[in-house]
Structure 1
Amino acid sequence: MTLFHAVVTVDHHQAQVLQFDAEHVLAQKVKSHSHHTKQHGNTVRTEHEFYADVCDALAGIPEVLVTGSRNAMADFRHYVEKHRAPLAAHIVGWETIDHPTEGQLIAFARQYFVKYDRMAGTPIPS
């Protein structure tokens, strides 16, 4: 089930994707891969695989709000803009939030999207 809005909170090791509408919340966790090899560039490769998985979890969602620490969001944003440009068009905002609970994150995202939808002139789906 794909819902109209989603909020993702991302750090360098895991992400939580919450798709929601007025009555439903669909939660999904994405964790980074841990490869224990001595290959050159392994950290970057692992991070890219993780960000690719997060992008895959966001595929098909019309409006996405990304939250997290500044550094994690900057790295994720760079990845999205460079490797997943079509997804970038669906990301409506980047907000710095540190370690919210799921309930706090949903409440924040609902408030954000009410304001965003009003500013964009988009009717809020019911």
Structure 2
Amino acid sequence: MTTFHAVLRIDHQNAEVLQFDAEHLQSQRIKAHTHHTAQHASGVRSEHEFYAAVCEALAEIPEVLVAGSKTALADFRHYAEKHRPALVPHLVGYETIDHPTAPQLVAMARKFFLRYDRMAGTPTPA
């Protein structure tokens, strides 16, 4: 399915990418894999591997709204800006949220993209 918009719900252990158009919804889940080692900074390595997997899932999506807790958004944004600068222009907005259901998240994203597309002067694809 080719979609124009997506919303990424992220925390420090899980991510869910919801791609949608007027008629379809596709969901992809990504989980962090923790490495229990005595090696220094293994937690940082695990976090980078998780964020890298999330960025790979977003690679072909033109416009992504990122939603999550304040710290999760800040950490993911920092990772993307430092390690995946080509992806940054596709991350068009950040929303701090609690724990909405998938339908609530998609409804919020649809409203966001309606406003975003109007401001950008581009028609929202059907």
By how many angstroms is 1:125 displaced? 1.1
Residues 34, 43 of structure 2: 8 Å contact kept: no
How far apart are the structure 1 equivalents of 2:47 and 2:2?
Answer: 26
Give the residue type in structure 1 aligned to 2:107: A
SS of alignment partner, residue 113 of structure 1: helix
Report runs of 4+ in structure 1 exceeding 3 Å deviation.
none
Residues 2, 60 of structure 1: 8 Å contact kept: no
SS of alignment partner, residue 105 of structure 1: helix
Give the residue type in structure 1 aligned to 2:88: A
Give the residue type in structure 2 aligned to 1:90: H
Aligned position for 1:54? 54
Give the residue type in structure 1 aligned to 2:116: Y
Task: Tell me whether 1:87 sits opposite 2:83 in the alignment.
Answer: no
Q: How does 1:101-116 map to 2 (within 5 A)?
A: 101-116=101-116
Ranges in structure 1 where 5+ consecutive residues have no aligned partner: none
Aligned position for 1:38? 38
Aligned position for 1:20? 20
Aligned length: 126
Give TM-score scaled by structure 2 length.
Answer: 0.98
Ranges in structure 2 where 5+ consecutive residues have no aligned partner: none
Give TM-score scaled by structure 1 length.
Answer: 0.98
How far apart are the structure 2 equivalents of 1:99 and 1:57?
Answer: 21
By how many angstroms is 1:2 displaced? 3.1
Give the residue type in structure 2 aligned to 1:8: L
SS of alignment partner, residue 86 of structure 1: coil
RMSD of the TM alignment (CA)? Answer: 0.6
Residues 33, 46 of structure 1: 8 Å contact kept: yes
SS of alignment partner, residue 34 of structure 2: coil
Give the residue type in structure 1 aligned to 2:78: H
By how many angstroms is 1:16 displaced? 0.6
